[in-house]
Amino acid sequence: MTAAPTSTSKTLADLDIEVPAPGSCCSKNKAAPPATPAPVTRPGSEPPGPSQTLRLDVTGMSCASCAGRVESALKSVPGVRDATINLALERADVMAGTTVTAADLVAAVEHAGYGARPRAEDPAARRAANERAEAENAAEERRTLLILILSALLTLPLVAQMIAMVTPLPVHLSPWIELALATPVQVIAGARFYRGAFKALRGGSANMDVLVALGTSAAYFYSVFRVLNDGMAAQEHLYFEASAVILTLVIFGKLLEARAKRSTTAAVRTLMALRPETANRLGDGGVTTVAVSELRLGDHVLVRPGERVPVDGTVVEGASELDEALITGESLPVTKTQGSEVTAGTINGSGALTVEATALGEDTTLSRIIRLVENAQSGKAPVQKLVDKVASIFVPVVVVIALATFAGWWLATADFEAAMIAAVSVLVIACPCALGLATPTALVAGTGAAARSGILVKDISALETAARVDTVVFDKTGTLTEGRPEVTDIHAFDGKTDRLLRIAASAQMASEHPLAHAMVRAAEAKGLTLSRPAKAEARVGEGLVAEVAGEPVAIGNAALIDSLGIDHFTADTLRRQMEEQAKTTVMVAIAGRVVGVIAMADRPRDSAREGVADLKARGVRAQMITGDTQTVARAIADAIGLDDIAAGVKPAGKSTAIEALRNKGAVVAMVGDGVNDAPALAAADIGIAMGTGADVAMETAGITLMRSDPRLVAAALDVSRATVKKIRQNLFWAFIYNVVGIPLAAAGLLSPAIAGAAMAMSSVSVVTNAGLLRRWKAKV
């Protein structure tokens, strides 16, 4: 017989990222542990009992030290084991004992001077909360923009005058006009910093608002004092332009930050917006439009042309082409007919479909993707923990440095004005706002861009590991190949091929192995009547022993036949011939004699060759590991341009092989579909699960590829490297201004206005640098 055309890659519905028990937030956490560090039990706190994760949306955090303060406020609530704050996403994940309530946490956050509310979990409430937050943010942004424009207009003449002092331009403002220009800026633009500083100080700590408020107030009030005292003669000693420029630039930085934060979280928001709220349910009375939350499993829904699919399900009627791009990153429409799996959130093309619901609401693939992406984005990089520590002690330290600068200058020169100006510069240049944004903006932008290309990163440690990978090991079956072998040749030594196939396929009805399925399909295609074996025992990585119609049957490779003490000399030449054509062979032994050989071919995936080449081009070693024979492995490896192969490896041996590579110093990524390779995925530095696989693979994998496209492996490494690189660059940009600026300012070499500009630049560099990452896209 000839091979039936192999089907295209498996559908999305085979996908399963995490398996939460519906409706319970605690079991959800078990299935997908949040990317938080292990719970810290402080001495004296209650012994760790059952715990829960409470999630809050936090408002009012403007910088890293704010995040630090919210974190310590939450941690000081009795019963709280750990708290993770994500500044970019404005949220907190709190691990706490079951006695802790969300209200306790909200109260603690509010006491610290910030706003909080429990994060809504069900999709409709979540969306409402998101929309509300977004409307608030948009209004806030408009207000900020207005303030910016106003401050800029008022500041401009002051700046012009400052320039005029060093050039022969005829700009001259009277001190009273300067006062009139600077005062509205100080009041309007300064208000939020005074407010923020007041809140922080009341809460018992200092933040960057304190630095801005202190610095600009010093410059402003000193100048006011001179104007009031000396009148027109004060000209030389005015620093109105310093305070006005600083405030204008800091407001400018805030605006950019707000924009950047909004666009970095766009990936998750787009995904959420995909979840339809209503569905057309088919019932006895025809079509009724109901809320998706009212649907039950097994309900039939009608998806009209152009509509979004409301549930995960199976097509029971109709045919159409679906746009799955937002889930898989694949831009070509995918044909769906009766029996095809469809995914909630995908867009129907021109045909109408009737779909039977197999997963609803929070259990759909889309909801799982959203949770996975959110989880990755709220995690905290090891380096970020250090940054937070630094940030929390930073402000007090800076205030001390500023005071020391002031005292030093005053004592040394007896020049109050110079001393004050140097201290103001120190306060302004030291703002650590960029520091708090450095990691989260890059992380959110990077993982969001990855998700858009169908690459889901579990957490930041997966990202960091993926960036260091130098060796990629591919499982053969289902990963480099389609994973759907078809029977190509049947050789019965007695010529009775149908009988051979019937007995073999009957025995294989007991097995879930892809080869077993191939034999059963081939037998069914020939119309053979099969009967379940009376007894059957799988030999992992070797084959199967069974009893069919009272006779002992063994089907499998040489290892199996050898272990039964059966001679297979007669089959060996034939096997070799088949294997050289990249066909997997199994021998069939009946009643202690090998009676024939069945050969099966599994097509390499179309993009496997390119995927391997992509890795090589990046200097990454690619290797194939398989339980199949050396000959078959070699033939397939040659077809796709792979050099390294490890053949004849039993499932358990795969993890050993991975460990051996790691012991030699390689950073190993294992790519598999999870059918018998979950242990290997777990043994690798990072497991990459290819989207068609089993649930268990998704759980052990650090990265999940939503499409079975080997080219996505190189893309996943790329986006990880790019994100990690961005995080490093951002930390550099955040620190360099402070590191260089503080000593310069203390030495009196940096004017307050320039310090303000530098500080704003620091935030701007960080957010725009991270923003560049959003454009990343897998080139497949």
Minimal distance in Å, beta carbon 679 to Mg ion? 12
Residue 453 or 700 having the CB closest to ligand ADP:
700
511 binds ligand ADP (CB under 6 A): yes
Residue 360 or 560 having the CB closest to ligand ADP:
560
28 touches, from ligand ADP, Mg ion, none (C-beta below 5 to 8 Å by class): none
Residue 73 or 678 having the CB closest to ligand ADP:
678
36 binds Mg ion (CB under 5 A): no
Residue by residue, DSSP assigns 553-571 as: EEEE-HHHHHHTT---HHH
Token pair for residue 777?
Answer: 């896209």
655 binds Mg ion (CB under 5 A): no
Residue 20 or 556 having the CB closest to ligand ADP:
556
- Segment interacting with ligand ADP (CB under 6 A) among 107-115, 126-134, 316-324, 538-546: 538-546
Among all residues, whose Cβ is closest to ligand ADP?
627
Rounded distance between C-alpha atoms, residue 403 and residue 420, angstroms: 9
Minimal distance in Å, beta carbon 116 to ligand ADP? 49
Which positions from 178 to 197 touch ligand ADP by CB under 6 A, shown as an x/- string?
Answer: --------------------
- Segment interacting with Mg ion (CB under 5 A) among 365-373, 486-494, 654-662, 668-676: 668-676
Give the C-alpha distances (Å, rounded to integers) separating 91 from 8, 83, 99, 363, 452. 41, 10, 21, 23, 22
Q: What type of residue is 76?
A: S
Residue 280 or 477 having the CB closest to Mg ion:
477
- Segment interacting with Mg ion (CB under 5 A) among 472-480, 498-506, 609-617, 661-669: 472-480
Rounded distance between C-alpha atoms, residue 309 and residue 403, angstroms: 63
- Segment interacting with ligand ADP (CB under 6 A) among 46-54, 276-284, 394-402, 513-521: 513-521
Residue among 82, 475, 489, 718 flagged as catalytic? 475
543 binds ligand ADP (CB under 6 A): yes
Q: Find where tokens 């021998």 sit.
A: 587
Rounded distance between C-alpha atoms, residue 167 and residue 157, angstroms: 15
555 touches, from ligand ADP, Mg ion, none (C-beta below 5 to 8 Å by class): ligand ADP
- Segment interacting with ligand ADP (CB under 6 A) among 25-33, 115-123, 137-145, 507-515: 507-515
Residue 693 or 741 having the CB closest to Mg ion:
693
Q: What is the DSSP letter of 236?
A: G
Is 475 a known active-site residue? Answer: yes
675 binds Mg ion (CB under 5 A): yes
Residue by residue, DSSP assigns 608-664 as: HHHHHHHHHHTT-EEEEE-SS-HHHHHHHHHHHT--EEE-S--HHHHHHHHHHHHHT
Q: Hey, which residues between 572 and 611 contact ligand ADP (CB under 6 A)?
A: 584, 586
627 binds ligand ADP (CB under 6 A): yes
Residue 269 or 650 having the CB closest to ligand ADP:
650
599 bridge partner residues: 489, 585
Considering only CA atoms, which of 399, 394, 395, 418 is closest in space to residue 408?
Answer: 418
Residue by residue, DSSP assigns 654-714 as: HHHHHHHHHHTT--EEEEE-STTTHHHHHHSSEEEEETTS-HHHHHH-SEEESS--THHHH
Beta strands in 231-386 (DSSP E): 278-283, 286-291, 300-303, 312-318, 320-323, 334-336, 341-342, 347-348, 353-359
How many residues of this chain interact with ligand ADP, rule: CB under 6 A? 20
Q: What pairing do the DSSP bridges indicate for beta strands 353-359 and 80-86?
A: unpaired
Query: Burial code of 3-18, b = ≥16 C-beta within 10 A, e = fewer?
Result: beebeebbbbbbbbbb
Radius of gyration, alpha carbons of the chain: 33
Minimal distance in Å, beta carbon 140 to ligand ADP? 55
Residue 428 or 544 having the CB closest to ligand ADP:
544
Residue 362 or 542 having the CB closest to ligand ADP:
542
633 binds Mg ion (CB under 5 A): no
- Segment interacting with Mg ion (CB under 5 A) among 90-98, 291-299, 369-377, 473-481: 473-481
Q: What pairing do the DSSP bridges indicate for beta strands 278-283 and 300-303?
A: antiparallel
Query: Who's near 577: CB < 8 A, 6+ residues apart?
Result: none
- Segment interacting with ligand ADP (CB under 6 A) among 175-183, 336-344, 486-494, 509-517: 509-517
710 touches, from Mg ion, ligand ADP, none (C-beta below 5 to 8 Å by class): none
Residue 215 or 543 having the CB closest to ligand ADP:
543
Q: Hey, which residues between 646 and 685 contact ligand ADP (CB under 6 A)?
A: 651, 676
Contact 234, 227 (CB under 8 A): yes
- Segment interacting with ligand ADP (CB under 6 A) among 83-91, 569-577, 621-629, 751-759: 621-629
Residue 443 or 681 having the CB closest to Mg ion:
681
Q: Hey, which residues between 546 and 565 contact ligand ADP (CB under 6 A)?
A: 555-557
720 touches, from Mg ion, ligand ADP, none (C-beta below 5 to 8 Å by class): none
Give the C-alpha distances (Å, rounded to integers) separating 276 from 311, 345, 701. 9, 7, 29
Among all residues, whose Cβ is closest to Mg ion?
477
Contact 318, 346 (CB under 8 A): no
Rounded distance between C-alpha atoms, residue 281 and residue 448, angstroms: 33
Minimal distance in Å, beta carbon 657 to ligand ADP? 11
Contact 280, 287 (CB under 8 A): yes
Minimal distance in Å, beta carbon 649 to Mg ion? 11
516 touches, from Mg ion, ligand ADP, none (C-beta below 5 to 8 Å by class): ligand ADP
How many residues of this chain interact with Mg ion, rule: CB under 5 A? 2
291 bridge partner residues: 278
Residue 477 or 508 having the CB closest to Mg ion:
477
Query: Burial code of 705-715, b = ≥16 C-beta within 10 A, e = fewer?
Result: bbbbbbbbbbb
Considering only CA atoms, which of 437, 395, 460 is closest in space to residue 767?
Answer: 437
Minimal distance in Å, beta carbon 630 to ligand ADP? 11
- Segment interacting with Mg ion (CB under 5 A) among 156-164, 233-241, 476-484, 714-722: 476-484
Which positions from 52 to 71 touch ligand ADP by CB under 6 A, shown as an x/- string?
Answer: --------------------
557 touches, from Mg ion, ligand ADP, none (C-beta below 5 to 8 Å by class): ligand ADP
Minimal distance in Å, beta carbon 117 to ligand ADP? 49
User: CA angle at residue 605 from 602 to 608, to 5 degrees?
Assistant: 125
Question: Coil, strand, or helix at residue 253?
Answer: helix
425 binds Mg ion (CB under 5 A): no
516 binds ligand ADP (CB under 6 A): yes
Rounded distance between C-alpha atoms, residue 481 and residue 74, angstroms: 50
Residue 477 or 655 having the CB closest to Mg ion:
477
Token pair for residue 525?
Answer: 């295609």
Token pair for residue 337?
Answer: 């007919």
Considering only CA atoms, which of 323, 322, 301 is closest in space to residue 311?
Answer: 301
Contact 711, 780 (CB under 8 A): yes
* Residue in 477, 631, 700, 730 binding Mg ion, rule: CB under 5 A: 477
Which positions from 447 to 476 touch ligand ADP by CB under 6 A, shown as an x/- string?
Answer: -----------------------------x
Give the C-alpha distances (Å, rounded to integers) separating 222 from 227, 275, 330, 407, 422. 9, 57, 62, 17, 13
* Residue in 57, 388, 542, 718 binding ligand ADP, rule: CB under 6 A: 542
Rounded distance between C-alpha atoms, residue 200 and residue 207, angstroms: 6
Rounded distance between C-alpha atoms, residue 267 and residue 494, angstroms: 62
Which residues lie near ligand ADP (CB under 6 A)?
476-477, 511, 513, 515-516, 541-544, 555-557, 584, 586, 626-628, 651, 676
**Active-site residues: which are they?**
475
Which residues lie near Mg ion (CB under 5 A)?
477, 675
